[in-house]
């Protein structure tokens, strides 16, 4: 049988292990990306490794998350990243140049290349034929230092696309359809690979929308082949030399195949408050909405915004709707300004936001209370918008602009049927407006030796994890349910500016679960830590889904959390737990979840011995009220990292051997 494209790229980059599904492998990383919310910690950890300059073919540091400078913290981070990148051999995309995934697709993405990014939506690069994977900042730091990236050799889900999208139906509806079938959990250890004659009808930006939001499936990554559409996109970006054709073999053997007929799709939405709560727009049409925003790394391309501007030209936003667009890059914004589309948007009553992540991560534009908000983003976790009890629906730009005109959730096909508005077919431009003046190249090695790194006082080197105890004595600090996201663990929004100072950021760990007037999670955890008692988290299915933010492991580690016991733990977060010396344990029998309650005291005898040579641990109540078995599911490398007190100590040890 032939090879999938996934396995062709893995084979070309394999440095350790065998390509057997489920086995751990190490692959060479060609490119890395970081952004300012995760990048500061990643670079502090990179510096502590002592390797000097990056060893990748290309590494890029982006400023796109912490843009609002309320206080000195964010600008301190920007200056640190700008100067440490220049010294370390890293390109720097300045604030205002755009969202990392959009800019990387435009200016750096190459078919067949491996990309590791400290952002969970790094798989956006799969739209251009890259094997692009999201990971924690420490894993990215190791890759920047020349180390392999380790992952579970995946199974490959082939998604066969046939037909062609109808007018007013979007690429966003493709991934919403898939999320409705597969959900956000249970997909660990898979890669999604798109193939079939329908692929050729999708442009690179459309493919990137699909691979971007594929992160919500919980898979390792998603990707398309590289074909004539890819060549056209790269040529328009004046990078045709980076093109290479890449496809799976005609007889490629997929572990599972799902078929989607593009011509049969209809507009859909992810309803509150999960990306897999999928309904058709027809089913929810008519609900009033007062806020709509088009943007984020999912839907802020030139073609997306041109479609919106074309519909709004000569028309007005409904008077009860607050509407905004956030172009994904400065390139897109410049082109809209030059061709008059930006003026059309403004004349219609549109607010134009910065080319950044913005509302998608709770950085402003929060909706009013009890208000339905439509967004073209990739996540609608409860409270992520910055409003408690929010009602956020994830939709396509087509559905968004239709609803902008009517003030209620509207099937965009009704614009043609009931309002006589023809669907604007936006072609890819033959040439993009390329201006890389806000992408700064690194200093030469000679100049770097004399360069100063600017370190504001709000930038604090993270604490190194302590070694695990031979016997763990712990107390359940929190028992939570299913689908606990990294937003629940470490809130973003206004707290993002604290990410460079773990001591301060740790104060809001699990703040979503704090009760008024009661001691906070952080206060209770630090009190236990002072007593020499480990903190333990108990959770249900799909613990740690969502963002790659390593602070969801780093800050709990600082507070003294040493173990997470859950029914299942998502891939990136599980790796982050191990990297920061927190033991991830899965219930051997999911019903044992019911045996544990908050404040229960537990014991794990011979924890280090189990990590070293066993697949299970025995977890008992202090005093002997109950006992059950937990599964470790550790690779040999995972064991070595935990026994070394985390990935940083493990890497230092290996570097100096």
Active site amino acids: 64-65, 119, 379, 547, 549
How far does Cα 621 stand from its chain's mean position? 37
Assess contact for 326 and 298: CB atoms under 8 A: no
Rounded Cα–Cα distance for residues 174 and 206 (Å) = 10
Query: CA dist 25 to 143, 430, 526, Å?
Result: 14, 40, 37
Assess contact for 34 and 117: CB atoms under 8 A: yes
Query: Would you tell me the crossing angle of helices 397-406 and 302-312 to the nearest 10 degrees?
Result: 20
Quickly tell me which residue has 């690194």 as its tokens: 442
Q: Choose among 242, 194, 184, 244: nearest CA to 215.
A: 184
Q: Choose among 126, 113, 135: nearest CA to 211.
A: 126
Rounded Cα–Cα distance for residues 315 and 396 (Å) = 20
Q: Choose among 131, 153, 103, 89: nearest CA to 357.
A: 103
Q: Choose among 64, 32, 637, 83: nearest CA to 296.
A: 64
Q: Choose among 521, 516, 550: nearest CA to 537.
A: 521
How far does Cα 360 stand from its chain's mean position? 12
Assess contact for 551 and 508: CB atoms under 8 A: no
Assess contact for 359 and 326: CB atoms under 8 A: yes
Beta-carbon contacts of residue 138 (< 8 Å; ≥ 6 apart): 41, 42, 45, 550, 576, 579, 580, 647, 648
């Amino acid at each position: 049988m032939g090879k999938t494209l996934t396995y062709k790229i893995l084979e070309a980059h394999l440095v350790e292990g065998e390509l057997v599904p489920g086995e751990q492998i190490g692959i060479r990383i060609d490119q890395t990306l970081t952004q300012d919310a995760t990048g500061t910690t990643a670079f502090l950890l990179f510096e502590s490794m002592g390797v000097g300059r990056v060893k990748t073919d290309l590494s890029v540091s982006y400023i796109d998350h912490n843009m609002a400078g309320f206080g000195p913290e964010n600008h301190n981070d920007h200056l640190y990243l700008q100067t440490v990148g220049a010294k370390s051999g890293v390109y720097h995309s300045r604030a205002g140049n755009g969202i990392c995934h959009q800019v990387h697709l435009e200016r750096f993405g190459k078919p067949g290349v491996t990309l590791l990014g400290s952002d969970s939506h790094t798989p956006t690069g799969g739209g251009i034929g890259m094997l692009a994977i999201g990971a924690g900042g420490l894993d990215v730091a190791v890759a920047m230092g020349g180390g392999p990236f380790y992952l579970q050799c995946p199974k490959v889900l082939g998604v066969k696309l046939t037909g062609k999208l109808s007018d007013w139906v979007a690429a966003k509806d493709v991934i919403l359809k898939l999320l409705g079938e597969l959900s956000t959990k249970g997909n660990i250890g898979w890669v999604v690979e798109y193939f079939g004659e329908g692929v050729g009808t999708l442009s690179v930006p459309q493919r990137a929308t699909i691979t971007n939001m594929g992160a919500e499936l919980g898979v390792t990554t998603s990707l398309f082949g590289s074909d004539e559409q890819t060549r056209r996109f790269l040529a328009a970006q004046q990078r045709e030399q980076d093109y290479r054709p890449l496809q799976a073999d005609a007889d490629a053997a997929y572990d599972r195949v799902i078929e989607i007929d593009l011509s049969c799709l209809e507009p859909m939405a992810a309803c509150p408050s999960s990306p897999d709560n999928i309904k058709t727009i027809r089913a929810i049409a008519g609900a009033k909405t007062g806020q709509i925003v088009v943007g984020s790394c999912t839907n802020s391309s030139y073609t997306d915004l041109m479609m919106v501007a074309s519909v709004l030209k000569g028309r007005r936003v409904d008077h009860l709707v607050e509407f905004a667009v956030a172009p994904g890059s400065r390139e897109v914004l410049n082109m809209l300004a030059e061709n008059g589309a930006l003026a059309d948007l403004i004349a219609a009553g549109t607010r134009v936001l910065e080319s950044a992540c913005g509302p998608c991560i709770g950085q402003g534009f929060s909706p009013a209370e009890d208000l339905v908000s439509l967004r073209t983003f990739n996540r609608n976790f409860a409270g992520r918008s910055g409003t408690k009890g929010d009602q956020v629906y994830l939709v396509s730009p087509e559905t968004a602009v239709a609803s902008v005109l009517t003030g209620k959730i509207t099937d965009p096909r009704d614009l043609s049927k009931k309002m006589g508005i023809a669907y604007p077919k936006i072609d890819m431009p033959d040439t993009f407006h390329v201006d890389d003046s806000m992408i700064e190249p690194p200093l030469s090695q000679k100049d770097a030796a004399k360069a100063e790194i600017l370190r504001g006082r709000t930038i604090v080197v993270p604490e190194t994890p302590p070694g695990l105890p031979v016997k763990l004595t712990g107390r359940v600090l929190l028992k939570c349910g299913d689908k606990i996201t990294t937003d629940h663990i470490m809130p973003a929004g206004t707290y993002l500016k604290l990410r460079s100072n773990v001591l301060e950021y740790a104060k809001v760990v699990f703040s979503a679960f704090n009760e008024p007037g009661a001691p906070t999670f952080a206060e209770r955890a630090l009190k236990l830590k002072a007593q020499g008692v480990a903190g333990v988290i108990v959770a249900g299915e799909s613990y740690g889904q969502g963002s790659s933010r390593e602070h969801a492991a780093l800050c709990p580690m600082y507070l003294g959390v040493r173990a997470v016991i859950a029914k299942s733990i998502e891939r990136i977060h599980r790796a982050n737990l191990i990297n920061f010396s927190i033991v991830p344990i899965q219930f051997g029998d999911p019903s044992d979840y019911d045996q544990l309650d908050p404040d229960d005291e537990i014991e794990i005898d011979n924890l280090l011995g189990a990590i070293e040579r066993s697949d299970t641990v025995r977890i008992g109540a202090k005093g002997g009220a109950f006992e059950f078995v937990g599964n470790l599911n550790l690779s040999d490398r995972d064991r070595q990292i935990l026994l070394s007190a985390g990935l940083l100590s493990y890497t230092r040890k290996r570097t100096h051997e």
